[in-house]
Structure 1
Amino acid sequence: MSNHTPTVLSIAGSDPYGGAGIQADLKSIHALGGYALTCITALTAQNSQGVAHVVATSAQTLSHQLDTLLQDIKVDAVKIGMLANAELINVVADKIAQYSLKNIVLDTVLISSSGHPLLEESAVDCLIERLFPIATIITPNLPEINHLLDKDFHNIEPKIDTIRDAFFKLGAQAVVAKGGHGSESDLATDVLLQPNYPPMPFSSPRIQTSHTHGTGCSFASAIATFLAQGQDLATAVQQAKHQMHQWFTQSESLQLQYQSNLGHRKEPLLHLDMITGQSNEQ
């Protein structure tokens, strides 16, 4: 086993509540044994109730952040989250090409769970055109699938062939279609779609929990960390899915054991045992 610590660059928005975006990525990457680098695309004002305000980073500032890091540090994987607008999308796409970055995990963040836009509608086509073809994998959930494909699916599995064909037509290289928002099963099933392979479902028992804030960010950054460690794509997705189930279980267990003071609506996913300080690192 190599002594090399895998480096993962998170390009995402900042969540002062600590449950999503850059903060969730930091927790996820470090819990899995990686080292997280961060470039902030936006400052948000949010809490457990939702997003109240967003200010996007300037394109110049994001460009300087990326150049300063990438001229100094070798990055093994990249997780991309909130991008806010087309200017920032273009900066990220240009830097990926300039520095020949690999293992790109694109979390297609469009709207917060509380309904606040996190990407300008006019920038969706730019996201598709500039980043879908160069991302190793994209990780849309059911609402994002419906928005990107202009559909109204209620579950992903019955429509998986349509989803697969549509995303590949848009230039995606691989997709993990996340089914957590579906409601027809006691299982939460995500499906990995790759060219020349049949759809590959990964399922885990559905857990009823309030600890859902930042789960998409944590999942995408976990995939990126496993890719940075040298795993193939299918193994990285499988391990990230398994890790998410562990984190959900742990979060709910701690919720039952200790009085929570982490909010009143959507609480953050707990990546570490916040009582004992032990991690779930594998």
Structure 2
Amino acid sequence: MTEQYPQALTIAGSDSDGSAGMQADLHTFFRRHIYGTAVMTAAVAGNSYGIHDSVTLPTSFIDQEFKDLADDYHVRASKTGMLADTELIRTVIKNYQKYDFGPLVVDPVITTKHGNMLLEQSAYQTLRDELIPLATVITPNFFEAQKLAEMDINTQDDMVTAAQKLKDLGAANIMIKGSHHKPGQKEVSDYVLLESGKSFWLTGDFFDTDRKNGTGDSLSACIAAELARGNDIETAVRIAKKFVDVAIENEIQVGHKFGPINHWAPGYPDPEQSNNS
């Protein structure tokens, strides 16, 4: 009886202002009625104005976190967030392969939403060559997809080609998040390529707001949550897209500058109303 409630795992850094990273993942798990567990990999000191300091946890401590969860919990799906360096990425890979934590959603935190690199080249290469092949789902943003696919994306056909290149890297299912940086933009179109070969576009409104911190974290966390609930990949991706769109549209006023999305936005169906609850 103790292991019947669905549980998911976030492998990520702690964000002190609660808007992104592990906190955004746990907000999402809670909102989707999933019990959230966590392997903390780093801690970030920051607020809505910016990040001011960070520290990476010792790999021996991270190993212990994984072991303790494996000894006691039944994690049905996992997700990764920001992994700072090569040693940390390989520690996560080692432990994920050692323990059964269900399907893995990789949010490849490589660049910002504006295209600025977040990882050094060696860490990027490790993520590309060693972590992505383990992914059940990978959710790169527009610039990360360009980097990983080693090509410019200018058209929808380009995005289709990029998704196939990411599949060739070993990821089973790909969701490329559409561009958010075009002047006068009204819509955002994400492209999904499934392991079966099925593909489709998910198009939603573009919301011109500075309340978008944690969007990518929450999207990948929602996919992991829905997989933990027993939903298939397509259903999980579609639910996650709607969840994030509603959270962005219904702003929450927290912080003075770049604020978080609203995980408690009204109007999104309670997961207990779904067929797979």
Do Structure 1 and Structure 2 share a fold, with TM-score over 0.5? Answer: yes
The equivalent of 2:69 in structure 1 is: 69
Contact 1:50–1:114 (8 Å) recurs in 2? no
Give the CA deviation at 1:129.
2.1
Q: SS of the residue aligned with 1:133?
A: helix
Contact 2:160–2:191 (8 Å) recurs in 1? no
Contact 2:152–2:158 (8 Å) recurs in 1? no
Does residue 267 (structure 1) correspond to residue 239 (structure 2)? The answer is no
Contact 2:213–2:261 (8 Å) recurs in 1? yes
The equivalent of 2:270 in structure 1 is: 281
- 1:151–1:54 CA distance, 2 compared to 1 (3 A): farther
Q: SS of the residue aligned with 2:134?
A: coil
Contact 1:40–1:62 (8 Å) recurs in 2? yes
The equivalent of 1:257 in structure 2 is: none
- 1:245–1:261 CA distance, 2 compared to 1 (3 A): closer
- 1:42–1:120 CA distance, 2 compared to 1 (3 A): farther
- 1:146–1:73 CA distance, 2 compared to 1 (3 A): same
The equivalent of 1:181 in structure 2 is: 180
- 1:197–1:109 CA distance, 2 compared to 1 (3 A): same
Identity %: 31
> What is the TM-score normalised by the length of structure 2?
0.88
The equivalent of 1:40 in structure 2 is: 40
- 1:199–1:207 CA distance, 2 compared to 1 (3 A): same
More displaced 10-residue stretch of structure 1: 186-195 or 221-230: 186-195
- 1:90–1:154 CA distance, 2 compared to 1 (3 A): same
The equivalent of 1:149 in structure 2 is: 149
Q: SS of the residue aligned with 2:75?
A: coil
The equivalent of 2:226 in structure 1 is: 226
> What is the TM-score normalised by the length of structure 1?
0.87
* Aligned partner letter, 2:176: A
TM-superposition CA deviations, 1:29-59 (whole Å, max 9, x none): 1011101101111111222233232221121
For structure 1, the residue ranges without an aligned partner over 5 or more in a row are 255-259
Contact 1:50–1:113 (8 Å) recurs in 2? no
For the aligned residue pairs, the C-alpha RMSD in angstroms reads 2.3
Number of positions where the alignment pairs a residue of Structure 1 with one of Structure 2: 268
TM-superposition CA deviations, 1:104-132 (whole Å, max 9, x none): 10000123458875433211121122221
